[in-house]
Amino acid sequence: MASSEALCAAVVRIIAAWLERSELPLGREVVRHMLDVDGHTWSVHRAKANWFRIMGVLTWAVGLARWLDGVQRWRSPFHHR
């Protein structure tokens, strides 16, 4: 049982290190929480992180839509009306 726990801890450390270097880095405590056996319970920290991720995607999508609208109407992004 102890070797199984040590193996799980090693896997968590490896995955956390890999995700910390990813394009949208996740903190070590977030990875530990996600890989926890009881990780399916609701968490304020996870809900807040997901909210900011969703808002980031929506902000990007609105910016893309505005840019596409400008391209469609042939407006220069440097000369706003």
pLDDT at 45: 82
**Within this chain, do residues 11 and 21 fall inside the same structural domain, yes or no?**
yes
Verify that 36 and 46 share a domain, yes or no: no
Q: For residue range 32-74, list pLDDT tens digits in order.
A: 777 776 556 677 887 888 899 999 999 999 999 999 988 888 7
Q: What is the mean pLDDT of residues 6-12?
A: 80
Q: Do 78 and 47 reside in the same domain of the chain?
A: yes
Considering the domain architecture, whether residues 2 and 14 belong to the same structural domain is answered as yes
- How many structural domains comprise the chain? 2
Tell me what pLDDT residue 16 has: 76
Residue-wise pLDDT tens digits, 11-37 = 877 877 777 777 777 777 777 777 776
Dig out the tokens for 2 from the structure. 């102890």
One domain, residues 28 and 54: no
Contact predicate 22/30, CB 8 Å = no
What pLDDT does 55 receive? Answer: 94
CB 61 within 8 A of CB 54: no
19, 54: one domain: no
25 and 59 share one domain: no
Same domain, 36 and 52: no
Q: Cα–Cα distance between 62 and 66 in angstroms, integer?
A: 6
pLDDT value, residue 60: 94
Domain of 68, in residue numbers: 42-81
